[in-house]
Amino acid sequence: MPTARSRIAQPILGVVPLFGAAALRDADAEATSRFGIPSLLLMERAGLESARAILERFPDARQATVLVGTGNNAGDGMVVARHLSEASWLVQVISVDGLAPTASDAQAMSSVALALGVALEPFDPGAVRLEGAVLVDALLGTGTRGAPRPPLDAVVAWAQDWPGPVVALDIPSGVDADSGRVGGRCISADLTVTYHADKPGLHVHPGREHAGEVVVVDIGIPSAVRSEPLAWLAHASTAAGIPAKSAAGEKYAAGAILVVAGAPGLTGAGVLCAEACLRAGAGLVVAAVPAAVQPLMAPMMREVMCAPIPDVQGCLGPASVEDVLAQAQRTTAIALGPGIGRDAATTDAVLGLAGRITQPLVIDADGLWHLVGHLDVVQARSAPTVLTPHAGEAARLLGCGRSEVDEDRLAAALSLCNQSGAVVVLKGPGTIVCGPEGGVYVAADGGSELSTAGSGDVLTGIIAAALAKQMDATHAAIAAVCAHASAGRLTGRGDGMVAGDLIAAIPAAIQAARALAGQGYR
């Protein structure tokens, strides 16, 4: 059946819209007020599709405990309870006080379920749990903000160590639908059946860790109802947006990149970044490195020209700027930061280069260290800039604690984007990309295998390659993030993957994305 995912034109390849709670609430209202679709019909469809998903995934369970609150999410739960009971499941419905939900539609659906023999029980923290039962979370819906409040918080706490499968209706209770923020106790689901369209909170950390598998079901809202996405979910095929080399082109046409990297003891990062540029399809890469480490780095990069740059005790400094700019003249994108160290003199070099480089620029790793307190330099650039912090680096740039970034990653990425005027790639689970011209993207893929030294340097190289091919900076960044995530999966080495494995898998990841795009898949 069609869902909201297919109703809006994609801004780039391989993405689907993510809608906020307000937009979905308005869509429900418009379906009812403009098109005369009864809200009870929408609720019936939501509960029916949820019950179908439960029956398909857990056919042997045959028992369910449905937790209901007081709002319309509870109505969805009562519909689920009715259909599971009709399928000959043993169904237990629990509300805080043993009373039916008070919201009008939910109350109506409760009346139907109770008339058909579905029992409604008050919550008892000492109650014996149905062994092997599926727990259905219908406590709180997408309109809820903040931690569950008493008395529902006690029910959530009771459900947190449920021994069997857990299914959340629309969103796990305790997860903010718009941001993924978790303010306190929260349900952790194995499956979330979400209605009409996908939500950012199901894919942004920490919400994504509580959502489990996400299934979007059509509840009957017509395609004529249009809503504005809050963000976009990017899948593997988004990497197909990275342009292929032209059969009639030459190396400069494929993109020429300058990688500014290296310091004593930090030579590997620049090597990884430069190699990733080439594996992502760049035609030519030059590495500008401090003269003191050039003899060490050059032998490690057979396909990369390695230019020695004046340094200060092995590190980039003010004297490095003119030589780096000279090397940049024939290139179409610059990568600045991998392994450049944190020497005080290097701050002057980074700020001087950021202020004078006229090509698209991606700044990563130690390069970000030197930008703290100097985002105005990035803001003043006329050419596109991409910043690629992890949570700790984003916190330093924003002048806040890391916990603040982790608690609301979407807000942190947008804040850094606004303050810097740059495209921001906030790395981590559900990597977020946002650009100054608008557009927020969340990566659907990317597993724990990417948590390895050098992984970020590889991502920087892929982004630089995409920028060198003259892609829009925001689109280049999210396409690179998707290629990076797919490469991690394709290595097949799981926790044992190292950055070198990741580089080797980049071509296959991009080729697989192009094949998916050609077949019309996400």
Q: Which residues contact 122 (CB under 8 A, 6 or more apart)?
A: 94, 95, 96, 97, 98
* Distance from C-alpha of 195 to C-alpha of 221, rounded to nearest angstrom: 10
Would you identify the CATH topology of the domain 20-228?
Rossmann fold (3.40.50)
Closest CA to 334 of 349, 319, 344, 348: 349
Residues comprising the chain, all counted = 522
Would you identify the CATH topology of the domain 236-519?
UDP-N-acetylmuramoyl-L-alanine:D-glutamate ligase (3.40.1190)
Specify the pairing of strand 440-443 against strand 432-434: antiparallel
Please give the radius of gyration of the chain, using alpha carbons only, rounded to the nearest integer. 26
Give the pair of three-digit tokens for residue 382. Answer: 């006329």
Angle at Cα 146 formed by Cα 140 and Cα 148, nearest 5°?
50
Residue 247: predicted pLDDT: 83
Residue 520: predicted pLDDT: 61
* Distance from C-alpha of 12 to C-alpha of 504, rounded to nearest angstrom: 26
Cβ-contact 239, 443 below 8 angstroms: no
Q: Where are the domains of the chain?
A: 20-228, 236-519
* Distance from C-alpha of 280 to C-alpha of 135, rounded to nearest angstrom: 45
Residue 161: predicted pLDDT: 86
Other CB atoms within a 10 A radius of the CB of residue 149 amount to 10
| CA distances in angstroms from 466 to 341, 367, 423, 442, listed in the order given | 25, 19, 14, 18
Cβ-contact 138, 76 below 8 angstroms: yes
Mean pLDDT by 10 residues, the chain (522 residues): 56 93 95 96 98 97 96 96 97 93 94 96 88 95 88 93 95 96 94 97 96 97 93 96 90 96 97 98 98 97 96 97 97 98 97 98 97 98 98 98 96 98 97 95 95 97 98 98 97 95 98 87 54
Which value, to the nearest 10 degrees, does the dihedral of the CA atoms of residues 304, 309, 313, 318 take?
Answer: -130
Q: Which amino acid is at 416?
A: L
- Tokens 């995530």 correspond to what residue? 485
Residue 130: predicted pLDDT: 83
Residue 4: predicted pLDDT: 46
Q: Which residues contact 79 (CB under 8 A, 6 or more apart)?
A: 43, 44, 46, 47, 48, 50, 51, 109, 113
